[in-house]
Amino acid sequence: MRSKACFAAIAALAFSVFAGCATHGQTGAAIGAPVGIVAGGIIGHQSGHRDGGALIGGVVGTLAGYAIGNEMDKADQDTRMDEISRRSDQAYAAANTIIVTVRNSNGSYIDVPLQRQGPYLIGPRGERYLTLPTEDQLRPVYGF
């Protein structure tokens, strides 16, 4: 009966810790601790050292759970940093893009994006302009 009460207390503690975890490392430690305690207690009981086995199992389970969860946190952080970098690149490109609208001979329009690179504006086909090209300059290349 005493072991059931101990197990219930450990499960309640683990659940309360798990519910408040903000990182995978914390969650891993919260899950690893009770699993290690139970496993260590079972192994320790078989060798006549239940309490020592539970203690060692709890420590090992906590450390192993934290280590695994911490690696998951690192992977998540790398993913977030990649997303931030991608968005930063998009914002930079948008801030350095000028759109010139060209009217075609049939009345339709086409947008020609020009990218700033140093003193130049670079067209979609790689042509360079020192000044902002006019619609008439872009029509022969991009319009009809």
Q: Which domain holds residue 108?
A: 96-142
Tell me the pLDDT tens digit for each residue of 95-124: 889 999 999 888 899 999 999 999 999 999
Whether residues 77 and 40 fall in one domain? yes
Amino acid at 143: G
Whether residues 36 and 84 fall in one domain? yes
pLDDT value, residue 105:
84
For the chain, what percentages of helix, strand and coil (3-state, to nearest 5) are there?
65, 15, 20
Whether residues 56 and 83 fall in one domain? yes
Whether residues 53 and 100 fall in one domain? no
- At 84, is the pLDDT very low, low, confident or very high (cuts 50, 70, 90)? confident
pLDDT value, residue 93:
81
Whether residues 29 and 77 fall in one domain? yes
Whether residues 111 and 78 fall in one domain? no
pLDDT value, residue 142:
86
Whether residues 18 and 77 fall in one domain? yes
Tell me the pLDDT tens digit for each residue of 20-50: 556 666 776 666 666 666 666 666 666 676 6
- Please tell me the distance from the alpha carbon of residue 120 to that of residue 127, in angstroms, as a whole number: 10
Per the prediction, the chain carries an average pLDDT of 76
**pTM reported for the whole predicted model:** 0.42
Whether residues 83 and 100 fall in one domain? no
User: Which of the listed ranges 32-41, 42-51, 72-81, 85-94 does the model predict with the highest average pLDDT?
Assistant: 85-94
Whether residues 44 and 72 fall in one domain? yes
Amino acid at 73: D
Sequence-separated (6 or more) residues with CB below 8 Å from residue 28: 64, 65, 66, 67, 68, 69, 70, 72
For the chain, the domain total comes to 2
Whether residues 72 and 122 fall in one domain? no
- Please tell me the distance from the alpha carbon of residue 111 to that of residue 100, in angstroms, as a whole number: 6
Whether residues 33 and 57 fall in one domain? yes
Whether residues 42 and 77 fall in one domain? yes
pLDDT value, residue 116:
92
